[in-house]
C-alpha cells in the first residue's frame, strides 16, 4: 500500500501545484513580453523560469484567487538588492510587446525609468478593462496616446512623463472617471487641452508641463473639485487665465509659467487657496490686483517677465505669509512698501522695472 499512497500523494501535490500556478497562456504572454526587451546589466529576467509565473518571477504578482497575472512592476530605479549589488540604475532597450494585452486581468503595469525602451504604447492597452495603474515614466516611448484610452474606466494613475509621446491628448481621456493622477510632463504632445477636461472629477494632480500644448485653458477645469496641483508650464498655451481657477476649493499649486498667456491677473488667484503661484514668462499686462489680506498665504508668487504696470500692492504687507515674491522684468513703478515681506526679499526680486525704488533697491 505504501508505494500506492506515495504515488497518490505525488499526483495530488502535482494537481494542487497546477491549480495554484498561473495559466500557461499568462506564462506564454509574459515570455513573449520578455522576448521584446533586452536588459544587459542586472539580470532581472533570470528568475523568469519554470512553469509557475506566480512564484518568484521578478516584478510579477498574481491574484490570490484566480492565479491570473495582476501586476507587472519593473522599475529601473529601485532600492531592491539587485540594484544595490550592481551599484547602478537600470537600463533596458526594446519595446513593450502587444502580447502584454493577453494578460487580460492586469491591474497595474509599471515599466518605468529604463531610459532605453522605445516603440509605442500598445494600442490594445485600452482593452485591459481591469487596469488601474499605467506607469511608463522615464523611457523613450514615442507615438501617440491610444485614442480610445477612455475605455479604461478603472484607471486611477496615468503616468507617461519623460518620454517622446507626440500627437494630441485624445478626447476620450476625459472619460476616465476614476483618474486621480495624470502626468504627461516632458513629451512632445501638441494641440489643445480637451474642452471637457473638467469631466475628470476624481483628478487631484494634472501635470502637463514641458510639451507643445496650445490653445486656451479650458474653464471646465475649475469644476474638478479635488484638483490640488495643476502644472501647465512650458507649453504654448494662449488666451487669458479663467478667473474660476481662483475659486477652486483645494487648488494649492498653479504653474502657468513659460507660455503665451495674455490678459490680466484675475484677483481671485490672489485670494484663493493657492499657495504656490507661478505666472512668470507670459504676456500678462495691467496692474497686480491690490486684494491681499490676512488670509493670503503664499510660499511662492512669481510674476516675473511679464508686462505688468502700476505699483506694487500695499496690501501685500497685510498677508499672513509671503515666502518668495518675484516681480522682476515688468513695467512696475513707485515705492516698494516697507515691512514684511519686503524686508527679507533681495533686490533681484524687483530688478528690471521702469521706476521702482526703496529697499532693497535704491532710495526714492
Residue 295 has pLDDT above 70, yes or no: yes
CA distances from 44 to 86, 137, 168, 201, 227 (A): 11, 19, 35, 38, 37
pLDDT in tens, 12-24: 334 444 456 899 9
Report the percentage of the chain scoring pLDDT > 70: 95
Q: What mean pLDDT, rounded, does the chain reach?
A: 93
Question: At 7, is the pLDDT very low, low, confident or very high (cuts 50, 70, 90)?
Answer: very low
pLDDT at residue 47 greater than cutoff 80: yes
Q: Which residues fall within 8 angstroms of residue 229, CB to CB, at 6 or more apart?
A: 204, 205, 206, 207, 251, 252, 253
Residue located via cell numbers 500523494 = 9
Per-residue pLDDT of 201-224, as tens digits, reads 999 999 999 999 999 999 999 999
Alpha-carbon distance of 265 to 358, in angstroms, equals 25
Whether residue 347 has pLDDT greater than 50: yes
Ranking 257-271, 275-289, 343-357 by mean pLDDT, the lowest is 343-357
Average pLDDT for 171-194: 98
Burial class (CB in 10 A: 0-12, 13-18, 19+), 328: buried
Output the CA angle 45-49-52, nearest 5 degrees.
120
Q: What is the pLDDT of residues 226-245, one digit of tens each?
A: 999 999 999 999 999 999 99
- pLDDT bucket at 82, cuts 50 / 70 / 90: confident
Q: So what's the pLDDT on residue 20?
A: 66
Per mean pLDDT, which range of 30-34, 185-189, 338-342 is the poorest? 338-342
pLDDT band at 143 (very low <50, low <70, confident <90, very high): very high
Contact criterion met (CB below 8 Å) for 189 and 183 = no
> Cα(298)–Cα(301) distance, rounded to whole angstroms?
7
pLDDT of residue 338: 85
pTM exceeding 0.85:
yes
What does the block give as the cell for 232? 501647465
CA distance 359 to 346: 9
CATH architecture of 36-357: Alpha-Beta Horseshoe (3.80)
Residue 303: pLDDT over 60: yes
Q: Are strands 260-261 and 285-287 parallel, antiparallel or unpaired?
A: unpaired
State yes or no: pLDDT of 344 exceeds 90: no
Closest residue by Cα to residue 315 from 300, 296, 343, 334: 296
Burial 248-258 (b: 16+ CB within 10 A, else e): beebbbbbbbb
- DSSP assignment, residue 314? G
Amino acid at each position: 500500500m505504501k508505494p500506492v499512497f506515495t504515488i497518490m500523494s505525488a499526483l495530488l501535490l502535482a494537481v494542487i501545484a497546477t491549480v495554484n500556478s498561473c495559466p500557461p497562456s499568462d506564462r506564454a504572454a509574459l515570455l513573449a513580453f520578455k522576448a521584446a526587451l533586452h536588459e544587459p546589466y542586472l539580470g532581472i529576467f533570470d528568475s523568469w523560469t519554470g512553469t509557475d509565473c506566480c512564484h518568484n518571477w521578478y516584478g510579477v504578482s498574481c491574484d490570490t484567487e484566480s492565479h491570473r497575472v495582476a501586476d507587472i512592476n519593473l522599475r529601473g530605479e529601485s532600492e531592491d538588492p539587485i540594484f544595490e549589488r550592481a551599484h547602478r540604475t537600470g537600463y533596458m532597450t526594446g519595446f513593450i510587446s502587444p502580447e502584454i494585452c493577453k494578460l487580460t486581468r492586469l491591474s497595474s503595469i509599471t515599466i518605468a525609468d529604463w531610459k532605453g525602451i522605445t516603440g509605442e504604447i500598445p494600442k490594445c492597452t485600452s482593452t485591459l478593462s481591469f487596469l488601474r495603474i499605467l506607469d511608463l515614466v522615464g523611457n523613450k516611448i514615442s507615438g501617440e496616446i491610444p485614442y480610445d484610452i477612455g475605455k479604461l474606466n478603472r484607471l486611477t494613475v496615468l503616468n507617461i512623463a519623460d518620454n517622446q509621446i507626440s500627437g494630441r491628448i485624445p478626447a476620450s481621456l476625459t472619460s476616465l472617471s476614476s483618474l486621480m493622477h495624470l502626468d504627461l510632463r516632458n513629451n512632445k504632445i501638441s494641440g489643445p487641452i480637451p474642452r471637457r477636461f473638467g469631466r475628470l472629477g476624481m483628478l487631484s494632480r494634472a501635470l502637463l508641463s514641458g510639451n507643445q500644448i496650445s490653445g486656451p485653458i479650458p474653464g471646465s477645469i475649475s469644476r474638478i473639485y479635488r484638483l490640488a496641483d495643476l502644472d501647465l508650464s512650458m507649453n504654448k498655451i494662449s488666451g487669458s487665465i479663467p478667473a474660476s481657477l481662483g475659486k477652486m476649493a483645494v487648488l494649492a499649486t498653479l504653474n502657468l509659467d513659460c507660455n503665451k498667456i495674455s490678459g490680466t491677473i484675475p484677483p481671485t488667484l490672489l485670494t484663493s487657496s493657492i499657495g504656490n503661484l507661478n505666472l512668470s514668462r507670459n504676456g500678462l499686462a495691467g496692474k497686480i490686483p491690490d486684494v491681499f489680506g490676512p488670509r493670503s498665504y503664499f510660499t511662492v508668487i512669481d510674476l516675473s517677465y511679464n508686462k505688468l504696470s502700476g505699483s506694487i500692492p500695499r496690501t501685500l504687507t497685510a498677508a499672513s505669509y509671503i515666502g518668495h515674491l518675484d516681480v522682476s522684468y515688468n513695467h512696475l513703478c513707485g515705492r516698494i512698501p516697507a515691512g514684511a515681506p519686503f524686508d527679507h526679499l533681495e533686490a533681484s526680486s524687483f530688478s528690471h522695472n521702469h521706476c521702482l525704488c526703496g529697499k532693497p533697491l535704491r532710495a526714492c
